[in-house]
Structure 1
Amino acid sequence: MTTIASGKKTTGMVKLLHSLNNKLQHMETQVRDKIDCVLTIDGHVSYEDGLGTLTSFQSVLYRLLVEEENNQAIFSSDYIDDVQRYQNFLFGIKAYGRIILETLSDPIENRKDEWGKNDVLFGYIGIPRMIYDKSLYKTEQIVKQQRERQEFACAYLRDMTSQKLNEIIEYIEHIHRCMAPVTYYVDEFTYSNFYNVGKNSGKYDYCLMETLARLKKTDFQSWIKQEVELIFSLYFLLQSGPQIRGEEFNNQQINPVILERFFDKKWAYYLKKQHNLDSKTLNDKYQTSRLPEKAEFIKFIRAQLEKEYRFYRSINGINLKKRELMFLKSELALGLDYFPKDIGKYLVKQYGIKVQSFSDVYDLFRHIVDISLDEKWHEKKGFEIWNNPLEELIHVIISSSIKCTNSDFGMTRNLRRLSHMIWAHKSNAIEEACSWPQTDYFCYVIPDEKICMSIEKDKLLSILRAISARMQFNSWHYLPGNFTISEVPSKRDYYFPPKMADIAEWSDQHHPGHIYTSVRYSIRSPAQVTIDGKDYFAFFDLRLMRTPGKPPYTMREFRVALAYTRYLQMLYQAIVNRLLETQEEFEFTFGSKKWYNKHCVCSIVFNN
């Protein structure tokens, strides 16, 4: 059987899916094992996440195949003619990673227009009639058991005024317009604002934003079951925590029943972690609540946990599912006793100061900022590469973080003229701040020594410039999210600034930039600067990356990265506070395309 996918692109997800197809064609195992291979995308996705993609019917069918080992199911590259004995299923995978396991009454060659151009079709699975009929019956029983919750969701939305219902849809619209792309499954339907889903990608595939826009104009009585479940579930999912909560359901089934299970699991996890609330009383109230109230309980207890815990996310770059996790803030080693020795040696050599002479990290960096912005000291020292000594200090911090975490690349981004942000804040010049071009931001990215030796100079320069340009865009994209929706110009595109750090693997599958730069594993650690008591979230970040050939980052390395983020935060905050007091001008000039073209980064790395 030939696959639908035929494009020239052979990198990232397309390459992975074709490799999966090649493996399946040569697997001499039971059908269940082939399905497992597809659900986990050849082991790249967890078994639990794979099961989470299945419809109710697919889930029942799969369980029966597992329970009945001698089930006689068969795999074939051709349509199975013995339809009295077998029910034909088309077997494949969508371009975005969803299993295709659909009943067929005739060969796929007659229906190729129903599939997207990058979908991969492996062949046919013949399910014995007895198992197929049993699956239909059991699915019908499950649907009956879940009907009460589904009817509650329908009644909840039906009883709203048209205005209130549209407000809910607009709320969902706004959230999804301002966060990374997501893909949701509701039964056999897919709703996404990613991968051009809904645009010639196959039947049952719908663009999420187009669906939301259409539902605002459609009488509720005309909504189909899947649309009711989508809106109800998304609304309360987003009510249960941070704005990006939807990313925890990326490439997963979502409906009121599944959402309530998710809430119950999340509640148990949160309740186990907290020590300052009356757990029994809270739990009794939670267990007797309906889903809307459960969302409020979860949001409440999460806010309490934030006082003691640091939330972060683990990301799988294959299915883009983002799992929320946490650890105690007290576990981070942030004091001067843990300050990196290599940075300490640099400070002794360059500034003649010892780390132990200061009360804390901020006090240390504020002293350095005050010295560095003294023009006479600057001229006396002389800096050929750096426009100012603080650029060199940032270089030293990033270099140290690369070595300490065994990374291949490290970077930080920020606004070039921090005094402009201070002016915009004090003048409430939000519209002007939102109009700053991307070149008003910088990203300073450097490679590890081994990368310098292993990649041809022009190629490396191209990679560094590409990363730098993309991170400039990210800074530009995040800034407006620090203001209210009414304050941001209506046509200004932006994302909510991330507040949680994340640790990711298989990042080189979807994102063109990550594919080009071979970013397999990454740590992203955003943080804020504060001006007159207002936090500007994701104003900068520290990012560390590894290419294929190295292992994923460990939790120890992740915590180390968070500590380095704290050092950068104290440095940037010290600069902001100095500028607030003196009203002087200050500009970062490194990290631009022109700067990278002028300076040999490898020389800088080796001479550090």
Structure 2
Amino acid sequence: MTGPAATSGPAETSGPTGTNGPAERESRRAANARKRLSRRPSRLGTAAGTAPGPDRTREPGAGFPALLERVWQRARTAPDLRASLDILLGLDGHVPPQVQLRALSTTEEAALHALWGLTWREDTTTDTATVTATATGESESVSAGAVPALDLNEAAAEEPVFVGELALATTGRIVLRGPAQGPLDRRHLVGGVLRVPWSLQAARAHHAHLSRAAARTARTLADCRAWLERQGEKGRDELLEQAKEAALRTAPFVLYQEHRQYTNFREQNSLTGKTLWPGHPDCVLSSLQQLPLELWSDHDVQLVIGLTLLIRSAGAGRVEEANGTQLSIDHVAAMLERIRHSYNSVPGEPVAPAASHGVEDLKTLAEALGARRRQVIRQVPLYREIHGTLMHKVERIAAGTDGVRRRDEELSRRLAARLPLAGTTLDELGHSAAADPAWLARPHGSHATGLEALVHESVTAIADVFAADFAMSRGMRSLPALIKALRAESWAEICGWDITHYFCCVVPRPQARAHFGDSVEAMADAAWAMSSRMQYNSWHFVPGNLPRHPAVVARDHFVPPTIPDIAFFSDQHHHGHVSNQVRFSIRSPQPVEVAGRTFNGFVDLRLLRCAGAPFTEPDLLAAHRASRFIARATTLAAELTLAGTPVEVTAFDAPWHWHTITGTPPGTDGPTAPAPQGVPR
């Protein structure tokens, strides 16, 4: 796969507002000399890599390991074991407890069920009745209604027959030691362990839960292997190729089969992704292609089936909704059932439940959900809720509309005052732009084109209206170059463009400097770091909209996003998010049509807060309207270009961000006070 620096792109513009346009084709020596210069706004023109040290170091309490340390300390000092468990389940308010429950191995799931009656399974009536009967010494044939429930308080008051352990693993998962198990491995724990007394009732219940789980797993595995056998060698290879492609083209994920981790994120990778190329011997999916089915491990069998079902239900993106959890067939079945209930809340032909947890029945359900999703997404706003601490995602249907229209009207009022558009809503402003789009290609104020002005004014207004620390929007610099390449079907050329062919306009509110040592220079550097990363995201998504030409397949890219998302506590893993304190965020991607081809995720709008309150669902809906307005203007600019009036974006480079944020020319020290927002106009 090729990376973003595979080819040289246009030179960074040199004017203080970035309006000089890409340089003429330069010599190789000049290009190499330019690339050796720092693009950090505070060090423009200096040799890259010559600073005496880092401008900022990571805060001692930042990032995932530090969070886990704090969580463990809170759990360790809680008044009782149940309070400790609640803290660990939610990572002290950072993730929904249900995510942690679904991450438990079979033995740990049985332990929590036996000790505290906790389980992620919604329908446990039959299991609980049978287990209770076994634990109390009664016949398993006793009906559910006639069996008394296990009295957890009474069991806790009994003299313990075993003392187990409760701990927090360095992966963020809860781990427990139950009867007949050895001590937990301290090397993989955040701190020590909490001692857990087991009553005889709890120990018997645990044993009964495990017995039933073993029988259930045996039935599941037999069905999975039989289903895979029916696919034949060719069919299994196709499933493995599909799973590898999904792993390669979506964001990193971490899945579990009992205590075995499958990941293309950090630590030891075992799946295709950024580290392991397709066919790498360390990739589990690649290694299975040479093995007969009878030699596949039970974990690998469920992994392949689980990935297949998730992909059938919504494409590669659905895999991220299993992030941080067990990928057993039962877990996948529960996820599909939750999604079924969600989709059935939307008017239309309801999706029937799976007849069983058999693979064929679940495949039928997954495919029905995939078809229904294509209808639902046209009727109601879908979005993903992201819990950054464990990278877990949940697809939801947006319902909260309180305040959406108010934000829409406030944005429209501000934009109508700054742009040659009329209307009281963003939709009306979009109609106004469509009625007379020619101004998008002409200079407007200090901007080289109206499109640049529209992007900048929109992002500036959005940052204020949403009280975001930063707001930003990205896109492609040269629509003429894209249209020319599309007409010639020059897919390799498009894939060869580096990140400087893309732009991202980042606007911080002056108050955001408080998160960067009260330094406007540091804030400008952070804004440029975000802009550069967003250019990379555009670079990463555009090829996903092109035909599967060999150059496209070989090029590193993700499936372009199509629905917005709202994220909580994203300042845990991603180095850029940790360094720049990206705690709460909204992302709203939008499609743009260029020369008859729809480019999903061609533009997007992002809002972020470094601290304070998280964004809400109404915030996301209002932001989605704003990003749609920017995308509509971009489509109009593409139509103008197609008709012979070229529109390019030359602003939003490093000098532009420095000058706009600090109010001083590039190459000079920034002010001691924040620059007026939106300078220059």
TM-score normalised by structure 2 residue count:
0.76
Alignment of 1:551-562 (within 5 A): 551-562=613-624
Moved more, 454-463 or 8-17: 8-17
Report the CA distance shift for 1:62/1:178 in structure 2 as closer, same or farther (over 3 A). same
Measured in 1, the distance between the counterparts of 2:225 and 2:195 equals: 36
Alignment of 1:65-214 (within 5 A): 65-67=115-117, 68-69=152-153, 71=155, 85-89=161-165, 91-102=166-177, 115-116=187-188, 119-128=189-198, 130=200, 131-198=202-269, 210-214=283-287
Does residue 49 (structure 1) correspond to residue 99 (structure 2)? The answer is: yes
Aligned match of 2:71: 20
Alignment of 1:24-423 (within 5 A): 24-30=75-81, 32-67=82-117, 68-69=152-153, 71=155, 85-89=161-165, 91-102=166-177, 115-116=187-188, 119-128=189-198, 130=200, 131-198=202-269, 210-275=283-348, 277=349, 279=350, 283=352, 290-327=361-398, 340-347=412-419, 351=420, 354-355=422-423, 360-366=428-434, 369-374=437-442, 378=443, 383=446, 386-423=447-484
Alignment of 1:561-572 (within 5 A): 561-572=623-634
Measured in 2, the distance between the counterparts of 1:10 and 1:481 equals: 38
Which runs of 5 or more residues in structure 1 are unaligned?
1-6, 75-81, 200-206
Report the CA distance shift for 1:333/1:209 in structure 2 as closer, same or farther (over 3 A). farther
RMSD, aligned α-carbons: 3.2
The CA deviation at 1:195 is 2.2
| Among 505, 511, 520, the residue aligned to 1:450 | 511
The CA deviation at 1:487 is 4.5
The CA deviation at 1:70 is 5.2
Measured in 1, the distance between the counterparts of 2:70 and 2:625 equals: 39
For residue 486 of structure 2, give the secondary structure of its aligned residue in structure 1.
helix
Structure of greater relative contact order (alpha carbons < 8 Å, 6+ residues apart): 2
The CA deviation at 1:315 is 0.8
Report the CA distance shift for 1:158/1:9 in structure 2 as closer, same or farther (over 3 A). farther
The CA deviation at 1:184 is 1.1
Give the conservation status (yes or no) of the 8 Å contact 1:309–1:329. Answer: no
The CA deviation at 1:245 is 0.5
For residue 526 of structure 1, give the secondary structure of its aligned residue in structure 2.
strand
Give the conservation status (yes or no) of the 8 Å contact 2:433–2:633. Answer: yes
State the Cα deviation string for residues 244-290 of structure 1 (Å, max 9, x = none).
00111111112122222222222122122123x3x4xx538868971
Number of residue pairs aligned between Structure 1 and Structure 2: 562
Report the CA distance shift for 1:163/1:457 in structure 2 as closer, same or farther (over 3 A). same
State the Cα deviation string for residues 434-456 of structure 1 (Å, max 9, x = none).
00011111111011132257730
Aligned match of 2:141: none
Measured in 1, the distance between the counterparts of 2:417 and 2:375 equals: 40
For residue 78 of structure 2, give the secondary structure of its aligned residue in structure 1.
coil
| Structure 1 counterpart of 2:527, one-letter code | L
| Among 62, 69, 73, the residue aligned to 1:11 | 62
Report the CA distance shift for 1:604/1:189 in structure 2 as closer, same or farther (over 3 A). same
Aligned match of 1:507: 570
For residue 15 of structure 1, give the secondary structure of its aligned residue in structure 2.
helix
For residue 382 of structure 2, give the secondary structure of its aligned residue in structure 1.
strand
State the Cα deviation string for residues 354-373 of structure 1 (Å, max 9, x = none).
43799944442245641353
For residue 253 of structure 1, give the secondary structure of its aligned residue in structure 2.
coil
Give the conservation status (yes or no) of the 8 Å contact 1:508–1:514. Answer: yes
The CA deviation at 1:88 is 3.7
Report the CA distance shift for 1:247/1:422 in structure 2 as closer, same or farther (over 3 A). same
Give the conservation status (yes or no) of the 8 Å contact 2:352–2:365. Answer: no
Give the conservation status (yes or no) of the 8 Å contact 1:181–1:192. Answer: yes
Report the CA distance shift for 1:301/1:105 in structure 2 as closer, same or farther (over 3 A). closer
For residue 94 of structure 2, give the secondary structure of its aligned residue in structure 1.
coil
State the Cα deviation string for residues 380-427 of structure 1 (Å, max 9, x = none).
x762xx333432332111111112211110001111111111112211
Measured in 1, the distance between the counterparts of 2:547 and 2:329 equals: 30
Give the conservation status (yes or no) of the 8 Å contact 2:412–2:429. Answer: no
For residue 218 of structure 1, give the secondary structure of its aligned residue in structure 2.
coil
Report the CA distance shift for 1:261/1:546 in structure 2 as closer, same or farther (over 3 A). same
For residue 411 of structure 1, give the secondary structure of its aligned residue in structure 2.
strand
| Structure 1 counterpart of 2:677, one-letter code | V
State the Cα deviation string for residues 292-313 of structure 1 (Å, max 9, x = none).
1111111122122122122111
Report the CA distance shift for 1:38/1:540 in structure 2 as closer, same or farther (over 3 A). same
Give the conservation status (yes or no) of the 8 Å contact 1:24–1:122. Answer: no
The CA deviation at 1:490 is 4.2
Measured in 2, the distance between the counterparts of 1:126 and 1:354 equals: 67
| Structure 1 counterpart of 2:542, one-letter code | L
Does residue 523 (structure 1) correspond to residue 595 (structure 2)? The answer is: no
Does residue 467 (structure 1) correspond to residue 530 (structure 2)? The answer is: yes
Aligned match of 1:204: none
Measured in 1, the distance between the counterparts of 2:354 and 2:190 equals: 48
Report the CA distance shift for 1:73/1:587 in structure 2 as closer, same or farther (over 3 A). farther
Measured in 2, the distance between the counterparts of 1:133 and 1:87 equals: 14
Aligned match of 2:495: 434
Give the conservation status (yes or no) of the 8 Å contact 1:73–1:125. Answer: no
TM-score normalised by structure 1 residue count:
0.84
Measured in 1, the distance between the counterparts of 2:657 and 2:565 equals: 28
State the Cα deviation string for residues 223-264 of structure 1 (Å, max 9, x = none).
121111111111111101132001111111121222222222
| Structure 1 counterpart of 2:214, one-letter code | V
Measured in 1, the distance between the counterparts of 2:284 and 2:219 equals: 26
Report the CA distance shift for 1:73/1:40 in structure 2 as closer, same or farther (over 3 A). farther
For residue 603 of structure 1, give the secondary structure of its aligned residue in structure 2.
coil
Measured in 2, the distance between the counterparts of 1:218 and 1:167 equals: 14
| Structure 2 counterpart of 1:555, one-letter code | E
| Structure 2 counterpart of 1:445, one-letter code | V
Report the CA distance shift for 1:606/1:270 in structure 2 as closer, same or farther (over 3 A). closer
| Structure 2 counterpart of 1:543, one-letter code | R
The CA deviation at 1:336 is 9.6
The CA deviation at 1:210 is 1.8
Does residue 575 (structure 1) correspond to residue 637 (structure 2)? The answer is: yes
State the Cα deviation string for residues 296-346 of structure 1 (Å, max 9, x = none).
111122122122122111111111111111247999769997861111122
